[in-house]
Amino acid sequence: MSYLLLDPADFAGKAIDGFAAAHPRHVSRIEGGVMRRAALPPGQVGVVVGGGSGHYPAFAGLVGRGMASAAVCGNIFASPSAGQVVRVGSAVERGAGLLLTFGNYAGDVLHFSLGAERLRRRGIDVRIVTVTDDIASAPADHPELRRGIAGGLAVYKVAGAAAEAGLALDEVERLTQKANAHTRTLGVAFSGCTLPGASNPLFEVPDGRMAIGMGLHGEPGLSEGPLTDADTLATMLLDRLLPERPADIPADRQRVVVLLNGLGTFKYEELFVLFAAVSQQLQQAGVVMADCECGELVTSLDMAGVSLTLFWVDEELEGFWNAAADSAAYRRGSFTSSLPATSAEQPDGRQAELDTTFEPSALTPSQRTLLARIEAVEEALNTHAEELGRLDAIAGDGDHGLGMVRGIRGARESASRAMERGCGIGDVLMEAGEAWSDHGGGTSGALWGGALLAAGQALAEAPAPEATDIAAAFEAALEAVMQLGHAVPGDKTMVDALQPFSVQLQARLRAGADLQQALQEAASAALTAAQSTADLLPKLGRARTHGHRSLGHPDPGAMSLAHCLVAATREPT
């Protein structure tokens, strides 16, 4: 996908920097994302959208007056961290509360929910509406399991318009929920997308075929079909979308906003050919096109694909859809009055890099040992990043290796700074956990952050940790991961490696093994268990919808954890 020489780990951040520089009339760069440049009046609900990067114009391009107040921007295909949600939400809260709305993906749900709880503890009223428009990802009787894809534009537009109209948070939430309930999308892909710096796409579509029901993050389609002409493709899409008409919309009085979306390489002229077929067939079906958008609305890097969204409107929803909006990537109508730019210059959100160099001799023996183990984990993750990405691409989005590299890099830097300040082992692990969550993003970032925080809290109570304290810290980490991710052994997640490690560690210590021996034997058990996840079907997360594809392949989260444990438990040199 990328033609410039670049570091994939910082690609997303630099892209957001450039976006903000290119659109100074619409957005200001803040820590964690962007916010609208037009001042937010006191008493206006803040609408915060967000998700992984790689989907422009979503999400940053939809920030502006009459649209989102701000966007939280994660790394490529990785959810933003809870810390980013807190920082961006705080920047746009004006006393009326916040509405957070984003696609229904495990990592986004986890991080936005954690961020919302932290904001609520500050006394801010926060509501969450997840976008669930993708009809391919779950049946109609389980809409809560559906992914959010291109229909998010309709949901964000209604939310932003309702907030701009000065409505209270209860009403903004109700209208956003209603817009989501009235929106359905189905997409097809003709080739996969390629992550920045990668040489191969995340998935391939056989010649003469198309993938049906793919996701926005490089997930393969849920089925395949032969290539067709525009009329046949329009028929296939509409035959599946029209039966999903919301129950409160009469069959003989259907008005829809049509969104035909190019996913990155399916360009405008070909979109117009398909739109003509869609428009004609809707007319023949007696469905009135109230409005339409045809172009790149929500992309997936350079994926060659297209999606069709039907947004059924009544008088109320249509009014908010037609309301004026002014963002970098989406504009309609005009405002009768202008608002000044944000009065205070917003910080660019990137804290100055701190000098992380320090004299190793200043460290205590336990700090030197911990730092050596962290560096060993970083080396292992760099070594296995490509392998982990390939595993993740089988039934996910292929970014797991990169996310782990970003997470350990941030954790190591934060741990080094904490040690320089003289922090104890528990505090070092807690700061490393916060940094891993912030830098890693995605579900794994939240789980690793939670695990390190829990372990650090356990060890903070033991100034000179003994073997039993370390075993208790791993047990606390396991409990945190299971609570955050709602996973149990057998779900094909990192729990399937961490639980055997914790059990084996405690068993070997009870049998009289010394700590180093017990750690290494426990790590060996974790690696064996992680490899055995090849025989399991995933029951949680993004891979759930592609579970059959992962049979015969171990879970990337379990394997990355096992690699980390093996590296961390080697005898320090």
Under-50 pLDDT residues of the chain: 343-358, 360-361
Instruction: Say what the pLDDT of residue 547 is.
Output: 58
Class for domain 360-568, per CATH?
Answer: mainly alpha
Query: Tell me: the pLDDT tens digits for 85-102?
Result: 999 999 999 999 999 999
What is the pLDDT at residue 352?
A: 36
Query: Does residue 171 contact residue 162 with C-beta atoms inside 8 Å?
Result: yes
Cα–Cα nearest to 467, from 520, 519, 527: 519
All structural domains of the chain with their residue ranges: 8-195+204-327, 360-568
Q: Which structure tokens are listed for 445? A: 């970032």
- CATH code matching the domain that covers 8-195+204-327, chosen among 3.60.130.10, 3.40.50.10440, 3.40.640.10, 3.30.360.10: 3.40.50.10440
Please say whether the dihedral angle defined by the alpha carbons of residues 540, 546, 552 and 558, taken in this order, is positive or negative. negative
The answer to whether 15 touches 57, Cβ cutoff 8 Å, is no
Residue 356, pLDDT score: 42
How does pLDDT run across 135-145, given as a tens digit for each residue?
Answer: 999 999 999 99
Pick the catalytic residue from 217, 384, 546, 563: 217
Strand residue runs (E) in 79-212 = 98-103, 126-131, 183-191, 209-212
pLDDT of 345 reads: 43
Pairing of strands 183-191, 209-212: antiparallel
pLDDT at 541 (0 to 100): 57
Residue 503: CB partners within 8 Å, gap ≥ 6? 525
What's the token pair of residue 498?
Answer: 């961490």
pLDDT at 329: 97
SS (H, E, C) 452-498: HHHHHHHHHCCCCCCHHHHHHHHHHHHHHHHHHHCCCCCCCCCHHHH
Residue 33 exposure: Cα atoms within 13 Å on the Cβ side = 36
Residue 217 is a catalytic residue = yes
**Which residue bears the tokens 């951040």?**
13
